[in-house]
Structure 1
Amino acid sequence: MKRSMIYVTGFVAVALIGAFAVALTTRAGYESAEYKVIETDGSIEIREYPDLMLAATDSKMDSQGRDGSFMRLFQYISGANEAEQKIAMTTPVFMEGEIGESDVSMGFVMPKEVAAEGAPNPKGEGVKLRERKGGRFAVIRFSGRLDSKLAKEQESKLRDWMESRGLEGEDSAEAAGYDPPFTPAALRRNEILIRLVSSEE
């Protein structure tokens, strides 16, 4: 009995390590939006982001992309654009809108080189190109399967931290996810970002 328990425990440990390695490898394989870390306090950072170009579409916060939003964006980077250009996947996927509300905007970040050359216009309806203005953000990082409830909880934690530091942020927040849908919840990297108001450069 003890031996079988050891085998089971060992198998579970190996499986978890394997899943963790796959998650890190998959995440590391994508170009990620650049930012400069200004300050770190545990799972919270103050970051400076440059302007980013996004391919965006309407989505539902709790749909996890199953409402067709993810596929619309994936089709765009797979060649459903005026140049029929294939565009590399990047991280994170931004979810912009009022956290806790159903309707948000899901956005893929255009690779730096594609943005510099000019991203091709989408074909058909449902996807649009737009700029995400750079600036200074307070950011909290956490794991789990991102939904409205978890996002709201983390936003509240972040706002409490900001208040303790005397930092003022915009009323709205945005969420960011770094992992594909098959990544286990415990290994997922999620973030809530709040743009700071009147921050010094």
Structure 2
Amino acid sequence: MATVFGNISVETPKFTVVQSLGSSNAVEVRKYGPQVRAEVLYDVSPNHSVMDGTGTPFRALAGYIFGGNTARTRGGSEKVDMTAPVVVQTTPPGGASSEKIAMTAPVVMQAGTGAGAAADGNSDGGNKHVMNFIMPSKYKSIADLPVPKDSRVRLFEVPERTFAVIRFNGRMNAALAKTKEQELRTAAAEEGVKLSDNPHAVQYCSYNPPWCLPWLATNDIMIPVIE
């Protein structure tokens, strides 16, 4: 029942607070260490909201961590612990990896082509998002993780990077995400912190399952800092 009331009981990414932005503790610059992620690229409708169509990629990623995989050293399958948040990004038409965008900005839901999909040239340039699960911190590289059985699931490594972040409560939707992203950009500009202006580098992070009471759900919006 704890998750109904917004409790976060799984591992979350570790970070160092570099700077608070404005008077609110909800807006800050954070430095995150390296991560390993699993991602699924998926189609969304042309007039999409940030959380449209997330059921299919979530099930695919959940299937991977709950045993839809092959252990690298002993055969069989391996259960990978769930973590939070689930990250979504948008992808550009025909375009580059979400993580490549973030690193060249320079530097998880995100719109656009996913890291693995772009590398393999499998993007069709349509309306797509990419969903990421962040792997537990004990996994230091792809070689430590079991191999996905579902071809839609791709593993990739993310280097250390710095983001401006705003934390807020509520059910993530397009209107709320737009409002909070603007609040974050305004707070950063007032403090002289330069952020990526690429919309596909923005990461939308949700920490709670759908059955959490909406007003208790925790979210982050993260934008790469240009250093």
Q: TM-score range by the shorter chain?
A: 0.7 to 0.9
- Any gaps of 5 or more consecutive residues in structure 2? 45-49, 72-76, 92-109, 113-126
| Structure 2 match to 1:77 | 65
Q: Which of residues 14, 18, 21 is equivalent to 1:34?
A: 14
Q: For residue 150 of structure 2, give the secondary structure of its aligned residue in structure 1.
A: coil
Report 1:139-178 matches (<5 A): 139-171=165-197, 172-178=201-207
Sort the Cα spacing of 1:45 and 1:34 in 2 relative to 1 into closer, same or farther, 3 A.
same
In the aligned structure 1, how far is the partner of 2:179 from the partner of 2:111? 10
In the aligned structure 2, how far is the partner of 1:30 from the partner of 1:20? 10
2:38 aligned with 1:55: yes
Q: Which of residues 70, 88, 110 is equivalent to 2:135?
A: 110
| Structure 2 match to 1:183 | 212
Q: For residue 114 of structure 1, give the secondary structure of its aligned residue in structure 2.
A: coil
Paired residues, number:
177
- Any gaps of 5 or more consecutive residues in structure 1? 1-17
| Structure 2 match to 1:8 | none
Q: For residue 70 of structure 2, give the secondary structure of its aligned residue in structure 1.
A: coil
- Give, in angstroms, the shift of residue 169 of structure 1: 1.1
| Structure 1 match to 2:81 | 88
Sort the Cα spacing of 1:123 and 1:31 in 2 relative to 1 into closer, same or farther, 3 A.
same
2:6 aligned with 1:23: yes
| Structure 2 match to 1:15 | none
Structure with the higher helix share, 1 or 2: 1
What is the root-mean-square deviation in Å for CA atoms of aligned residues? 2.2
- Give, in angstroms, the shift of residue 20 of structure 1: 8.0
* Percent of aligned positions that are identical: 29
Q: Which structure would you say has the larger RCO, counting Cα contacts within 8 Å and 6 or more residues apart? A: 2
Q: For residue 62 of structure 1, give the secondary structure of its aligned residue in structure 2.
A: coil
Measured against aligned partners, the alpha-carbon deviations of 1:19-57 in whole angstroms (never above 9, x if no partner) come to: 788422xx1x20111111122341101111011110111
Normalising by structure 2, what TM-score?
0.71
